[in-house]
């Protein structure tokens, strides 16, 4: 098992399919801040609220030299429908193999209708220009998460 990712530590490079049609590689964004927010499922109420809020604040994130990326275990096909439906202006990463989820330790046991299932715990992470983890927000509420992350970045 890889060492636990901690604040101040370099985030390992990873490569996963992106909704822009190409594979996304973290190292390609060196020199920019990266906001990775993890959400359980495309087109569900909480995930829609969270994604819409990030989309609404996108220009403010850009002013802070920050790229916003959503991550879930959904397929690219599912991501495309989600993006088309809500007109998101940022890419969604498809982590069907849970590569990125494991790096950030966001797969948690949840209780769904009395059954224990493994799913993504809603979270957000801020990576600095040198690809070090500088912020983590775990077990967040969908509503207000984007603003909380933006406020954090403004203080960096």
Residue 53, pLDDT above cutoff 60: yes
Residue 108, pLDDT above cutoff 70: yes
Q: How far apart are the first and last CA of the chain?
A: 31
Q: Is 47 a catalytic residue?
A: yes
Of 15, 1, 4, give the one whose Cα is nearest residue 100.
15
The larger pLDDT score, comparing residue 1 to residue 67, is at 67
pLDDT in tens, 4-19: 799 999 999 999 999 9
Catalytic residue among 47, 103, 124, 142: 47
Residue 31, pLDDT above cutoff 60: yes
Instruction: Tell if the pTM clears 0.85, that is, is over it.
Output: yes
* Average pLDDT of the residues of the chain: 95
pLDDT in tens, 110-135: 887 899 989 999 999 999 999 999 99
Q: Is the dihedral of CA 140, 144, 149, 155 positive or negative?
A: negative
Q: Compute, in degrees rounded to 10, the torsion defined by CA atoms 52, 57, 59, 64.
A: -130
What CATH number has the domain spanning 15-21+39-155? Answer: 3.40.30.10
């Amino acid at each position: 098992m890889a060492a636990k990712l901690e604040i101040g530590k370099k985030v390992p490079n990873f490569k996963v399919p992106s909704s822009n049609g190409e594979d996304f590689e973290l190292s390609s964004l060196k020199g920019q801040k990266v906001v990775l927010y993890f959400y359980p499922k495309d087109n569900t109420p909480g995930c829609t609220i969270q994604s819409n809020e990030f989309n609404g604040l996108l220009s403010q994130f850009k002013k802070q030299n920050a790229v916003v990326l959503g991550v879930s275990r959904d397929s690219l096909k599912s991501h495309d429908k989600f993006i088309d439906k809500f007109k998101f202006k940022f890419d969604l990463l498809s982590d069907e193999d849970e590569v990125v989820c494991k790096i950030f330790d966001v797969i948690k046991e949840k209780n769904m209708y009395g059954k224990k299932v493994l799913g993504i715990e809603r979270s957000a992470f801020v990576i600095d220009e040198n690809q070090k983890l500088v912020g983590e927000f775990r077990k967040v509420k969908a509503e207000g998460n984007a603003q909380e992350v933006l406020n954090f970045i403004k203080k960096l």
